[in-house]
Amino acid sequence: MPSRPTLAHLGRQQEEEAAPFEGGTWKVHVELPDQYPYKSPSIGFVNRIFHPNIDELSGSVCLDVINQTWSPMFDMINIFEVFLPQLLRYPNPTDPLNGEAAALLMREPKSYDAKVKEYVQKYANSDTTNEGGAETEDDDDMSSVASFGDDDDEEPAGKMDDV
């Protein structure tokens, strides 16, 4: 029986250091293989994001711990509270899926930050989240960990300084 894809929101980052991604809300597609937790889940961003280690069109994530060094000791909490926030905070332009983002980050960091902020406004705010990945009827099964927004109603998934 094939595994069923699920959707979740990436946890909220509380600190200013999360800039330029601060204020963005992304839907993250998580597919658990039948062999999970012995085989890593498939992770991808649903709405567009400008990042060296995330394919802009497919949303695929290039993250060593998910792709090559996965261990059954890791779980979904690690992905949402540690791995993905660290990926956003510390992009690796030397191992890119998005060559344009990597080159811009290395050559013109201020221009990179500006383009990331432009994408946050265009594809990852609460008004435009559906444009980057329209919700479907299956989204009723979505579990909301939290968002990168400013809503005080939602509990954060964890503080960045805890990682």
| Residues belonging to the active site | 62
What is the Cα–Cα distance from 83 to 41, expressed in whole angstroms?
13
Complete DSSP assignment for 86-127:
HHHHS--TTS-S-HHHHHHHHH-HHHHHHHHHHHHHHHSSTT
Is residue 82 helix, strand or coil?
A: helix
